[in-house]
């Protein structure tokens, strides 16, 4: 067997949000010993490695992978509410992203996926950029039936965030020329749709900033929010569908029509000058008092990945499943589940997958409508 790759120990520890001191204590070893394991100055004995693997929920084979995991550079990633993130949470999230890149590569070796179709709209203001993208994509002014399906049909790879990163709302990045979006599945479906549109705004308006590792700021976040609102609720259509009165009762119907939160809809009417400042403030107070800022009323069905569902369907027809992916990448099935929206409706069929499994030459093309 090849030697342990010390970087894999660090990666697994960071992925589970352990500090060196915490992990060393759990393992019953000194921090110096763990430091030596992570630098390659010494290697854990088989018993200790088994403990590390079990505690961090990684197969022991993961620690013998010669190739280092992909790396995300902080300034190439756009986080929502970055100011609330600790360094440990960011590092854990980067690790989740790195695993998603590996999963995506595994899928792309076996399936023909849509190519990215993202125009550079960085020279346009958010409102105009949203309207332009709708025209380019032929969406008109109708509501978006499913944001995740739309993103995937345009070549954007969409993955879900794991439990360890539940504090992260969403983030996006480019990796090897491919756009990725990661969504929190604990938030309401309406807020997750807004997050998806927000990240789309970054991908089409902040291309240079993200690909050249420039720092993100509050203004970029504000503009991405403005893009998301305009993309989900086009100005002309919103103006043409005003309610007879600006009350929660009437806004509830429009909330379902657009697939947005009650608060986001109220703000959109206000930002377009379609409701008075006094009426908007009254709405906000009523929404808050009713608890609708934290618990969305009459929630819509949560969106999930169409692409990953189709991949798993095809694997299932071949009597394969997520275990094939997990074993090929030397990961736990839990890791695959966390990134694939917990798509548990398919049975996982155990197999003897090897890391060198051959790719089918007749790679099926996945068509996303």
Q: What are 262-315's pLDDT values in tens digits?
A: 999 999 999 999 999 999 999 999 999 999 998 999 999 999 999 999 999 999
CB 92 within 8 A of CB 164: yes
Structural domains in the chain plus CATH codes: 6-64 (1.10.260.40), 72-232+304-369 (no CATH), 235-289 (no CATH)
Q: At residue 321, does pLDDT exceed 70?
A: yes
> What gap in Å lies between CA 109 and CA 103, rounded to an integer?
10
Q: What are 232-249's pLDDT values in tens digits?
A: 999 999 999 999 999 999
Q: At residue 34, does pLDDT exceed 90?
A: yes
CB 17 within 8 A of CB 165: no
Q: What pLDDT, on the 0 to 100 scale, is given for residue 118? A: 94
| Confidence band of 363 (pLDDT split at 50, 70, 90) | low
User: Considering the chain, what percentage of its residues have pLDDT values greater than 70?
Assistant: 89
Residue indicated by tokens 């996945």: 366
Q: What are 40-89's pLDDT values in tens digits?
A: 999 999 999 999 999 999 999 999 999 999 988 777 788 866 656 888 99
Residue whose C-alpha is closest to residue 8's, from 39, 42, 46:
39
Candidate from 57-71, 317-331, 334-348, 352-366 with smallest mean pLDDT = 352-366
Q: What are 159-199's pLDDT values in tens digits?
A: 998 776 778 889 999 999 999 999 998 889 999 999 999 99
Rounded mean pLDDT, 85-108: 93
What sign for the dihedral angle of Cα 192, 194, 197, 202? negative
Q: What pLDDT, on the 0 to 100 scale, is given for residue 214? A: 61
Q: What pLDDT, on the 0 to 100 scale, is given for residue 53? A: 98
DSSP designation for 350:
P
Report helix, strand or coil for 136.
helix
Tally of CA atoms within 13 A in the half-sphere of 201 that contains its CB: 31
> What gap in Å lies between CA 65 and CA 45, rounded to an integer?
17
Q: At residue 122, does pLDDT exceed 50?
A: yes
Q: How far is CA 49 from the centre of its chain?
A: 31
> What gap in Å lies between CA 196 and CA 199, rounded to an integer?
5
Q: What pLDDT, on the 0 to 100 scale, is given for residue 58? A: 98
Q: How far is CA 84 from the centre of its chain?
A: 17
Write the CB contacts of 9 (distance below 8 Å, at least 6 apart in sequence). Answer: 37, 38, 44, 52, 63
- Within 10 angstroms of residue 38's Cβ, the number of other Cβ atoms is 17
> What gap in Å lies between CA 154 and CA 114, rounded to an integer?
7
> What gap in Å lies between CA 331 and CA 74, rounded to an integer?
24
Q: What pLDDT, on the 0 to 100 scale, is given for residue 62? A: 98
Candidate from 89-103, 214-228, 296-310, 348-362 with smallest mean pLDDT = 348-362
> What gap in Å lies between CA 75 and CA 291, rounded to an integer?
36
Selected residue with higher pLDDT from 70 and 365: 70
Q: At residue 253, does pLDDT exceed 90?
A: yes
Which residue spans within the chain are E strands per DSSP? Answer: 77-79, 157-160, 170-175, 178-183
> What gap in Å lies between CA 43 and CA 4, rounded to an integer?
7
Rounded mean pLDDT, 255-266: 96
> What gap in Å lies between CA 97 and CA 103, rounded to an integer?
10
Q: Work out the end-to-end distance of the chain between its first and last CA atoms, rounded to an integer number of angstroms.
A: 46
DSSP string, 183-228: E-SSS-HHHHHHHHHHHHHHHHHSHHHHHTTPPP-HHHHHHHHHHH
Candidate from 115-119, 153-157, 229-233 with smallest mean pLDDT = 115-119
Rounded mean pLDDT, 324-328: 95
Candidate from 59-68, 132-141, 217-226 with smallest mean pLDDT = 217-226
Average pLDDT, the chain: 89
> What gap in Å lies between CA 36 and CA 32, rounded to an integer?
6
Q: What pLDDT, on the 0 to 100 scale, is given for residue 160? A: 94
């Amino acid at each position: 067997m090849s030697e342990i790759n010390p970087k894999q120990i660090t990666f697994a520890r960071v992925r589970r949000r352990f500090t060196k001191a915490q992990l060393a204590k759990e393992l019953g070893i000194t921090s110096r010993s763990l430091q030596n394991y992570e630098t390659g100055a010494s290697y854990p004995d088989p018993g200790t490695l088994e403990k590390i693997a079990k505690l961090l929920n990684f197969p022991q084979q993961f620690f013998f992978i010669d190739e280092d995991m992909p790396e995300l550079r902080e300034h190439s990633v756009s986080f929502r509410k970055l100011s609330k993130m600790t360094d440990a949470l960011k590092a854990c999230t980067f690790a989740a992203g790195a695993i998603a890149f590996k999963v995506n590569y595994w899928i792309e070796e076996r399936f023909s996926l849509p190519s990215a179709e993202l125009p550079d709209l960085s020279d346009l203001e958010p409102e105009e950029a949203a309207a332009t993208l709708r025209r380019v994509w032929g969406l008109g002014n109708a509501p978006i039936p499913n944001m995740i399906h739309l993103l995937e049909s345009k070549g954007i790879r969409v993955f879900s965030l794991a439990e360890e990163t539940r504090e992260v709302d969403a983030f996006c990045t480019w990796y090897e020329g491919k756009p990725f979006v990661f969504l929190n599945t604990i938030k309401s479906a309406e807020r997750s749709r807004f997050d998806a549109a927000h990240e789309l705004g970054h991908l089409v308006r902040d291309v240079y900033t993200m690909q050249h590792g420039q720092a993100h700021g509050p203004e970029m976040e504000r503009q991405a929010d403005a893009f998301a609102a305009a993309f989900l609720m086009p100005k002309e259509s919103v103006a043409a569908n005003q309610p007879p009165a600006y009350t929660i009762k009437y806004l509830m119907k429009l909330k379902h029509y657009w697939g947005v939160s009650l608060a986001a809809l109220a703000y959109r009417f206000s930002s377009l000058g379609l409701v008075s400042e006094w009426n908007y403030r009254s709405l906000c107070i009523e929404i808050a008092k009713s608890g609708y800022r934290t618990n969305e009323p009459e929630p819509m069905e949560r969106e999930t990945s169409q692409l990953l569902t189709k991949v798993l369907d095809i694997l299932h027809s071949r009597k394969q499943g997520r275990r094939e992916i997990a074993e090929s990448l030397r990961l736990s099935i839990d890791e695959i589940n966390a990134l694939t929206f917990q798509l548990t409706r398919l049975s996982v069929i155990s197999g003897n997958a090897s890391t060198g499994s051959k790719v089918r030459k007749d790679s099926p093309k996945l068509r996303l409508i």
